[in-house]
Amino acid sequence: MAKRNKIALIGAGNIGGELAALVARRQLGDVVLFDIPAKADFARGKALDLMQNAAIEGFDANVVGTSDWKDCAGADVIIVTAGVPRKPGQSRDDLVGINLPIIENVARGAKEHCPDAFTIIISNPLDVMVWAFREVTGFDARKVVGMAGVLDSARLQHFLAAEAGVSHKDVRAMVLGGHGDDMVPARGYCTVNGVPVSELIAADKLDAIEKRTRGGGGEIVKLMGTSAYYAPATAAIEMAEAYLYDQKRLLPCAVRLTGQYGYDDLYLGVPVVIGGAGAEKIVEITLSDAEKAMLAKSAESVRGVVEVAKRLRAQASA
């Protein structure tokens, strides 16, 4: 008998709920919406709301809420949003002390119950949380990736489309590096249907758009008091679909570098082919000297927070 995919969403908050709705609507598989015991009823409530939505929308996916890892067993894909989001004035790196033990806890659950899943981490600080998840699970690094570049590129694409007065559909953009304020918009790879953006938008306007993209998450946190959830969820679903349908999409994702771009044992956002084997191929593109310098700064920031995480892990096990 053909079997449906099983998608375990770890964290049933703002992004988790939106992810569940997207998985159900796109019929990617059955959904397990997991949260801590204190939020189990909240997860069950969201699941029930979505199942009632099935009666209106006509999807067949089954959605359940739970706080029992056993319900996640055998998941094909796990998407992790467990943890706290930023509040106005906070940086993503400020979250490391709170979110690190949460990710370690999630990683232990995933290791025991979902050893074959393709895992997409969303929790912040992104590059460090995906590194920590891999450290604890020891999973094949091709099956553990972080979502940031697809979202940051979407933010850049939106601002470019608005400035150039063209359809979002025709704008392609690539944002690399860590998911922090020193991320790297790779201008040479941003086009409107193949036309370099520099031919359509003045350099000073592009500078301003790239600056706004770097602060794009913070802009929404300031407006809403919490972080974005619609575009982050859709970005992760794009990655999940690439894996489930073996699409071989070339997407900017946080992947473990083993020498590529000159970095070793570091999770950082770079272009990667996502297909049925996970992060199948890291693609090394030519960067300008300025972009290389920006990437080095971004990598240094990520490395700094990884060191903080290592110290916290050592203290906790002492």
Question: Which residues form the catalytic set?
Answer: 179
Among 118, 229, 261, 263, binds ligand NAD (CB under 6 A): 229
- What distance in Å separates the CA atoms of residue 177 and residue 270, rounded to the nearest whole number? 6
Residue 158, interface with ligand NAD (CB under 6 A)?
A: no
Q: Strand, helix or coil at 315?
A: helix
In the block, tokens 């979902």 appear at 114
Phi-psi region of 194 (alpha: psi -120 to 50; beta: other; left: phi over 0): left
Q: Which of residues 59-88 bind ligand NAD (CB under 6 A)?
A: 81-86
User: Is there binding between residue 114 and ligand NAD (CB under 6 A)?
Assistant: no
The reply on whether position 151 binds ligand NAD by CB under 6 A is yes
Among 33, 102, 171, 186, binds ligand NAD (CB under 6 A): 102
Per-residue interface string for the shown chain with ligand NAD, residues 239-268, x marking contact by CB under 6 A: ------------------------------
> Restricting to residues 257-316, which ones interact with ligand NAD according to CB under 6 A?
none
Q: Which residues contact 41 (CB under 8 A, 6 or more apart)?
A: 65
Contact call for residue 39 and ligand NAD (CB under 6 A): yes
We find the least distance from the C-beta atom of residue 236 to ligand NAD, in angstroms, to be: 8
Tell whether residue 227 is a contact of ligand NAD (CB under 6 A). Answer: yes
Q: Which of 8, 32, 122, 299 binds ligand NAD (CB under 6 A)?
A: 122
Query: Least Å distance between CB 90 and ligand NAD?
Result: 9
Task: Give the contact letters, 165-184, x = binds to ligand NAD (CB under 6 A), - = no.
Answer: --------------x-----
Beta strand ranges found along the chain (DSSP E):
6-10, 30-34, 63-66, 77-80, 118-121, 144-146, 171-172, 175-176, 184-185, 191-192, 195-196, 249-258, 264-275, 278-282
Spatial distance between the Cα atoms of 143 and 280, rounded to a whole number of angstroms: 9
Place of tokens 């000159």: 262
Of 13 and 65, nearer to ligand NAD (C-beta) is 13
Binding to ligand NAD by residue 143, rule CB under 6 A? Answer: no
Q: Which stretch binds ligand NAD (CB under 6 A): 116-124, 157-165, 196-204, 272-280?
A: 116-124
Least Cα distance to 37 among 4, 78, 9, 65 occurs for: 65
If we measure between CA atoms, which residue out of 194, 192, 154, 160 comes closest to residue 174?
A: 154
Q: How far apart are CA 299 and CA 258, in angstroms?
A: 13
**Nearest residue (CB) to ligand NAD, 201 versus 240:** 240
On the CB side of 184, how many CA atoms lie within 13 Å of its CA? 28
| Three-state DSSP state, 252 | strand
* List 25, 36, 74, 275, residue binding ligand NAD (CB under 6 A): 36
Q: Which one of residues 6, 11, 110, 177 is an interface residue with ligand NAD (CB under 6 A)?
A: 11
260-265 contacts, C-beta under 8 A, 24 or more apart = 260/284, 261/295, 263/299
List residues near ligand NAD by CB under 6 A.
10-16, 34-36, 39, 81-86, 95, 99, 102, 105-106, 122-124, 126, 147-148, 151, 179, 226-229, 232
